[in-house]
Structure 1
Amino acid sequence: MLTLDRLSKIYANGTQALSDVTMGVAPGEIVALVGGSGCGKTTLLRLASGLEQASGGRVAVDGDIISAPHPDVGIVFQEPRLLPWLTVAQNIAFGVEHLPKAERDARVDEALLRVGLAGYGPRWPRELSGGQAQRVAIVRALVARPKVLLMDEPFSALDALTRASLQDHLLALWEAHRPTLLLVTHDVEEAAALADRAIVMQPRPGRVFKDIPIDLPRPRDRLSHDFAEAKRAILAALDGSLGNPHSSPRRISVPSGASW
């Protein structure tokens, strides 16, 4: 369980990025953080990863307080951030150097196979397309089998077709070991396609506005009525979080029997 308890963040210039954020993410659950600019989504992710320190409150994984980068918590950024002097296989294996070579190689080969890059291990990062590089970044984070994976808009720089393909690859990887996954996204369709819950944030300072269950079976039919209803629920909450008086917090029907 990933737990954020009364989390707040105030920067040195006095800007309050987060205020009293409390949420829990269950083992194996996928939660999407959605919200407008200034709602502190990326700050929250950095606090959860231990890359920044909170001004108040705490982050814990299975009761273990996170105050610095932790082996149980992986993170994927907007850019792949691959090391150019290492091959694809060496990049993926970078975080599991402590494992015996046979197990390390087996994990790398399995990960590349799952994302459609079998045989790409000897290649250099410069030889990859943007989508391929991001797939490598994702498997690099997952090959260590963290309990929690944090993702900061990992597909935002990609075209729509590549983005949808990588979302499917991500779910295939997640299915193997089912880490807890907390995903920051601006893409409402991405949230509806991937998440068990969408948490809509409210800006200035960032705080939780609405927690929306998305009770749809996987794989999800993006053309179905239920999928459209899930997107509509998230969009309505986003409008409310930004102060639209016609979309203030209210009950909105969510498909497949889920409730607010």
Structure 2
Amino acid sequence: MLRLETLGKTFSTGMQALAHVTLSVRPAEILAVVGGSGCGKSTLLRLIAGLDQPSTGRIDLDGEAITAPHPAIGIVFQEPRLLAWLTVAQNIGFGIAHLPRAEREARVASALERIGLAGHGDRWPRQLSGGQAQRVALARALVARPRVLLLDEPFSALDAFTRADLQDHLLSLWAEARPTLVLVTHDIDEALLLADRVVVMQSHPGRVAALLSVELDRPRAPGTNDFEALKRQILNVLGPGRRHAAVPAAAE
């Protein structure tokens, strides 16, 4: 279990990004974090990843304190961040170089098959579309078999059709190994399509304003009564001044 206990973060400028964040994330759960810009969502993810240190509180994974990057915690950023001088296959296998060659190659081949790029491992990142590059980034994170995978708005730069395809693809990849996923997103529809629970954050300082369970069968579709009722709950928590920052870009 991933546990955040009274987590707080104040930067050297005196700006308090997070205050009193307490959460428990269950194994294999998909947890989405939504909120307006400046509510500390990405800061929260960086703290869980061990890329930054909290000012107060602590983060535990199965009872072990997280104080630095940990092999059991992977992260996917908004941009794919592929290494231009490595092929697709080499990018996917970058984080498992310590494994025996046969196992490494088997994992990479399996990952290429799962992301629909079998036979394209020798391509270069510059030859990929945006959606393909983000698939490779997901495969690179999952091939190491992390217990927790953090996703920082991984589909925000993609067009609506590619984003929908990758949302389905993420669920398919998750279903195989069922790691714990923590997804930061501005898109309420995306959160409700993917997550088991949704954390709604407010700012000044960043804090948890609500935690909603999404008890809807998958696959889900916007427009159903239950889906739209949950969406209205989230919008009500965000308040009128923040709603525009937490809806899909296409709807703005």
Structure 2 length-normalised TM? 0.93
Once residues 101 and 241 of structure 2 are traced to their aligned partners in structure 1, the CA distance between those partners, rounded to angstroms, is: 50
User: Do 1:201 and 1:241's aligned partners in 2 also have CA atoms closer than 8 Å?
Assistant: no
Task: Give the C-alpha shift of residue 68 in structure 1.
Answer: 0.6
1:154-186, CA deviations, whole angstroms, 9 ceiling, x for partnerless residues?
000001110010000000110011001000000
In the other structure, the counterpart of 1:202 is: 202
Alignment-derived partner of residue 124 in structure 1: 124
State the 1:237 CA deviation: 2.0
The separation in 2 between residues aligned to 1:235 and 1:190, in whole angstroms, is 14
Say if 1:203 and 1:241, in contact at 8 Å, map to a contact too: no
Kept in 2, the 8 Å contact 1:33–1:201? The answer is: yes
| Cα distance in structure 2, aligned partners of 1:69 and 1:148 | 12
Match of 1:103 in 2: 103
**1:99, distance to aligned residue in structure 2 (A):** 1.3
How far, CA to CA, are the matches of 1:189 and 1:114 in structure 2?
25
Range with greater deviation from structure 2 (44-53 or 106-115): 106-115
Aligned match of 1:139? 139
Residue matched to 1:170: 170
| 2:228 counterpart residue number | 228
Report the Cα offset of residue 229 of structure 1: 2.3
- 2:170, 2:53 → 1: CA distance? 29
Matches within 5 A, 1:15-54: 15-54=15-54
* Aligned counterparts of 1:109 and 1:189: Cα–Cα separation in 2: 33
Any idea what SS the aligned residue of 1:68 has? coil
Q: Between the two proteins, what is the percent identity of the paired residues?
A: 64
Letter in 2 for 1:124: W
Larger deviation: 28-37 or 216-225?
A: 216-225
- The alpha carbon displacement at 1:227 in A equals 2.2
Deviation by residue 1:59-84 (Cα, 9 ceiling, x = unmatched):
11111111110000000000000000
User: Helix, strand or coil: the match of 1:57?
Assistant: strand
Per-residue deviation, residues 177-220 of structure 1 (Å, max 9, x unmatched): 10010000000110010000110001010000000100111122
Cα distance in structure 2, aligned partners of 1:122 and 1:224: 43
Q: 1:118 to 1:222 in 2, by over 3 A?
A: farther
Give the drift of 1:223: 4.2
Whether 1:93 aligns to 2:90 is: no
**Helix, strand or coil for the counterpart of 1:71?**
coil
- Report the TM-score when normalising by structure 1: 0.90
Secondary structure of the 2:174 match is: helix
C-alpha distance in 1 between matches for 2:181 and 2:241: 23
Distance 2:18 2:228 in 1: 30
Amino acid at match of 2:70: H
Query: Any idea what SS the aligned residue of 2:93 has?
Result: helix
Structure 1: distance between partners of 2:78 and 2:51: 15
Give RMSD over aligned pairs. 1.4
Per-residue CA distance 1:81-117 (angstroms, 9 max, x = gap): 0000000000000011111222111111211222222
Tell me the CA shift for residue 242 of structure 1.
4.8
Once residues 214 and 51 of structure 1 are traced to their aligned partners in structure 2, the CA distance between those partners, rounded to angstroms, is 30
CA contact (8 A) 1:31 1:196 kept: yes
Counterparts of 1:50 and 1:224, CA distance in 2: 39
SS in 2 for 1:226: helix
Name 2:250's counterpart in structure 1.
Answer: none
SS of equivalent to 1:231: helix
- Segment of structure 1 superposing worse, 53-62 or 100-109: 100-109
Shift of 1:240: 7.2
Query: Runs of 5+ in structure 2 lacking a partner?
Result: 244-252
Instruction: Specify the SS of the correspondent of 2:57.
Output: strand
Aligned pairs, number = 243
Kept in 2: contact 1:4–1:23 (CA 8 A): yes
Cα deviation for residue 36 of structure 1 reads: 0.7
In structure 2, how many angstroms separate the alpha carbons of the residues matched to 1:69 and 1:179? 17
Which residue identity lines up with residue 188 of structure 1 in the other structure?
I
Secondary structure of the structure 2 residue equivalent to 1:230: helix
